[in-house]
Structure 1
Amino acid sequence: MNYFRQLLIAVLHPGNGSGSALDRTNAIAVFLFAILPGLSPNFNSFILLGSMVSGLYCLARARFPLNLSKSDRVVAICMTIYPVVMIVSIFVNPPFSEELDWIFRLLPFFSIWLILPRMRQSPDGHLMPLFILGAGLGMIVTFLFSLLQVLFLMPRAEAGTSNAALLGVIGVLFGGVALLNIQSPKSMEQKIAILGYAAGLGCALLSGTRSAWLVIPVQLVIFLWYFPKNRFHVSLRSLAITGSVLLLGLLALGSDQVVYRVRELQDNLSSLESTNGDITSLSARVALYKGALSAITKDPFTGYGPQNRMAAVLAEVPEGLRPQLPYSHVHNGFLTAGIDAGLVGIAALSLLLLTPVIGAWKKEPGPGRDLAIALALLLTSSYIITGSFGIMFNQKALDPIFAYMVALICADRGSTRYAPVVRS
């Protein structure tokens, strides 16, 4: 309990200097943002929106300068291209429908211009450890919530996301982020890192999100690159023992869900050769992919606009299948961008996905740069892999998470050494 009392002080303590109040609100916002995705992702949207409004107010009142470096502007422009392309596609592709709603959904991708200058009011190295620690704590609580759901309420865990696939993405991403804290010299933070990673994987397993499972081996490659470059404060022997025990526990808890989802995939593959017209999860995706590719080849330059997305796709699907495909996207982020804005949309999406890596790569050489690259790779790989089989953007939880994490990656200099949250 003493550690958590010190943690509360570390989060709420404003520090010294004229920017201390802003530093305190930054710390609270970043810490809560990392904890909440699996519990109530709507609050992430509120935090991002509040940070944008606050940043705009402070910039207008000249409480701090815009303070964007050349590399920051490159990242911000690359992020801005995607929503601009999508907004243009809305207005060049009639009929129009709910234009303001679609534009409002794109606001998170403009946020870096407002929230990055605000994050810069905190000392270098202050916010990133808070985010990583918060991710671990959030995953532990989310896993317990998910476990109760699977045991008593539903076959696939959703936690507080109301969507099993969304929980899978959040679990594997924030679990990976949590494990980065294993480099902390604080034993409690090391334990939270290991438990947070295991909890994140547990959420992915209990959600039954197969695309999230594909992210796990990619994350292992990232960890094998990052961890040897940094000094550990925990013995490899104890880490191996703890990891093995947790892995066995996760396999025991999630084995039924894994076996069920693998068998379901096998059944879906078998049903592709069937001619009885039954639609499964896999056959629905195949039909959507074929319809999307056909629609894109007919209009590869301007697309159809997000408001006409599914109408354009369903027009290329056999008439008998259309009533059985009640989706708002085609379960592939790149094809969805191509339907919305053509090849330009796919290019803008690809550039958007690279922004975390660009922001991290352009930092000063040092341990902070290595940490930022690891975080950027975890973020980008999670979105690309899961988004290639499901939803990627235009989602009220995933868009704010991506935008906020890009700003956080850019906020510190690369030469900043990692420090624990509780230092005393």
Structure 2
Amino acid sequence: MKYFKQLMIAAFYPGNGARNALDRNNGISVFLFAILPGLSPNGNSIILTVSMVWAVFCLATRRFPLNLSKSDRLVAIGMSIYPLVMIAGIFINPQPFEGLGWIIRLLPFFSVWLILPRMRQSPNGRLVPLFILGAGIGMIATFFLSLWQIQFGFDRAEGGTTNAALLGIIGVLFGGIALLNLQSPKKTEQRIAVLGYAAGLGCVLLSGTRSAWLVIPVHLVVFLWYFSRHRFHFSLRSLAITSSLLLLGLLALSSVQIVDRIHTFQENLASLDRSDGDVTSLSARLALYKGALSAITKDPFTGYGPQNRMTTVLAEVPDSIRQQVSYTHVHNGFLTAGIDAGIFGIGALVLMLLTPVIGAWRKETGPGRDMAIALALLLTTSYVITGSFGIMFGQKALDPIFAFIVALICTDQGSTRFLPVVRS
């Protein structure tokens, strides 16, 4: 309890002089943003929106300057090209006024211009550890909520997201972020790192999100790279024993969901060889992929605009199964971008996915750069892999999360050393 009392003081009462109010607000928003994704993704949208509006006011009243470096501007431009291309796709295609709602959804991608200068009002090395710690705490709370849902009749856990697939994406991303706190010299923070990662994996397994399962081995490679460059403050033997016990426990708790999802996938594969007219989740997605590819080849340069997305794709789906393909998106972020804005949309999407890696890579050499690269790789691989089989952007939770973490990656200098949140 003493640690958490000190944590509240560190997060909410930083006491660093004239910039105390801005720093305190930064700490609160970053800490809550890390905790909320699996519990209430709408909270992330609210935090980002409020941060953007307040940043506009502060910049207008010159409470802080628009101090973006050349690298920052490169990242912000990379983030902005995607929404600008999508907006162009809305207006150059039929029924542009039906696409006006999509413009609102694209606003989070412009947020780096506004929230990064605000984040810079906090000292180097303060916000990133706070975000990592919050991710661990949030994942632990989300796991218990997910476990409660499974115990009370949910086929797949959803946490507070109301969407099992979304919980899987959030679990694998924020669980991975939480594990980065293993390098903290504070034992409590180390425990939260391990439990937060285990809880994130638990959410992934309980949600039955198979695409998120594919991310786990890729993240392990990122962890091997990162932790090989930084020393631990604990026994590797203890970590191995604890990790093994937690893994066995997670497999036992989620075995029903794992077996069920594997069995469902096997049945879907077997149904592809039959011609009985049944449409499964897998066959529907394959039909959508073929329809999207066919549509893109017919108009590869301008696309059709997000307002005409599913109408266009379904027109390419065979009449015999069109009524049974009831999805509202293509289940592939790259194909979705191609439908919305053609090859320029795909190119803009690829650029945006690379911006966190570019921003991290351009930092000066040092521990801060290593941390930024690790965060960027965890973020980009999570979105690329899961988004190749489901939704990537155009979602009220995933868009703010991506934009906020990109800004956070740019915040610290490459020479910034990792410090625990509670330092006394």
Range class of TM-score, shorter chain: over 0.9
Which residue does 1:387 correspond to in 2? 387
Which residue does 1:416 correspond to in 2? 416
Distance 2:75 2:320 in 1: 45
Which residue does 1:40 correspond to in 2? 40
TM-score (norm 1): 0.99
1:129 Cα shift? 0.3
Distance 2:111 2:376 in 1: 18
Which residue does 2:9 correspond to in 1? 9
The residue type paired with residue 208 of structure 1 is: G
Distance 2:242 2:14 in 1: 36
Q: Alpha-carbon deviations, 1:309-346, whole Å to 9, x = none?
A: 00110111111211111222100000000000000000
Which residue does 1:401 correspond to in 2? 401
Which residue does 1:235 correspond to in 2? 235
Identify unmatched segments of 5+ residues in structure 2: none
Which residue does 2:292 correspond to in 1? 292
Q: How does 1:24-35 map to 2 (within 5 A)?
A: 24-35=24-35
Which residue does 2:348 correspond to in 1? 348
The residue type paired with residue 247 of structure 1 is: L
Tell me if the contact between 2:99 and 2:305 (Cα under 8 Å) persists in the aligned partners. no
Which residue does 1:250 correspond to in 2? 250
1:97 Cα shift? 4.5
Which residue does 1:173 correspond to in 2? 173
With 321-330 and 369-378 compared, the bigger mean Cα shift is at 321-330
Distance 2:269 2:97 in 1: 37
Which residue does 2:189 correspond to in 1? 189
Distance 2:246 2:408 in 1: 30
Q: Secondary structure at the match of 1:88?
A: helix
Q: Does 1:145 align with 2:133?
A: no
Which residue does 1:160 correspond to in 2? 160
Distance 2:410 2:10 in 1: 22
Which residue does 1:211 correspond to in 2? 211
Which residue does 1:202 correspond to in 2? 202
The residue type paired with residue 154 of structure 1 is: F
Q: Alpha-carbon deviations, 1:391-424, whole Å to 9, x = none?
A: 0000000000000000000011010000000011
Which residue does 2:274 correspond to in 1? 274
The residue type paired with residue 69 of structure 2 is: S
Distance 1:58 1:257 in 2: 48
Q: Secondary structure at the match of 1:229?
A: coil
Distance 2:98 2:288 in 1: 23
Distance 2:16 2:287 in 1: 59
Q: Alpha-carbon deviations, 1:120-150, whole Å to 9, x = none?
A: 0000000000000000000000000000001
Q: Alpha-carbon deviations, 1:347-392, whole Å to 9, x = none?
A: 0000000011011001111001000000000000000000000000
1:99 Cα shift? 2.6
Q: Does 1:78 align with 2:78?
A: yes
Q: Alpha-carbon deviations, 1:136-168, whole Å to 9, x = none?
A: 000000000000001113110001000000000
Which residue does 2:123 correspond to in 1? 123
Distance 2:41 2:98 in 1: 23
Distance 1:137 1:349 in 2: 31
Which residue does 1:93 correspond to in 2? 93
Distance 2:118 2:95 in 1: 39
Q: How does 1:362-377 map to 2 (within 5 A)?
A: 362-377=362-377
With 322-331 and 265-274 compared, the bigger mean Cα shift is at 322-331
Tell me if the contact between 2:175 and 2:196 (Cα under 8 Å) persists in the aligned partners. yes
Q: Secondary structure at the match of 1:48?
A: helix
Q: Does 1:329 align with 2:329?
A: yes
1:210 Cα shift? 0.1
Q: Does 1:109 align with 2:118?
A: no
Distance 2:8 2:153 in 1: 34
Q: Secondary structure at the match of 1:98?
A: helix
Q: Secondary structure at the match of 1:232?
A: coil
Q: 4+ residue runs of structure 1 moved beyond 3 angstroms?
A: none
Which residue does 1:308 correspond to in 2? 308
With 251-260 and 110-119 compared, the bigger mean Cα shift is at 251-260
The residue type paired with residue 209 of structure 1 is: T
1:14 Cα shift? 3.4
Distance 1:367 1:70 in 2: 21
The residue type paired with residue 298 of structure 1 is: K
The residue type paired with residue 358 of structure 1 is: I
Which residue does 2:223 correspond to in 1? 223
Cα RMSD of the aligned pairs, angstroms, is 0.7
The residue type paired with residue 267 of structure 1 is: E
The residue type paired with residue 366 of structure 2 is: G
Identify unmatched segments of 5+ residues in structure 1: none
TM-score (norm 2): 0.99
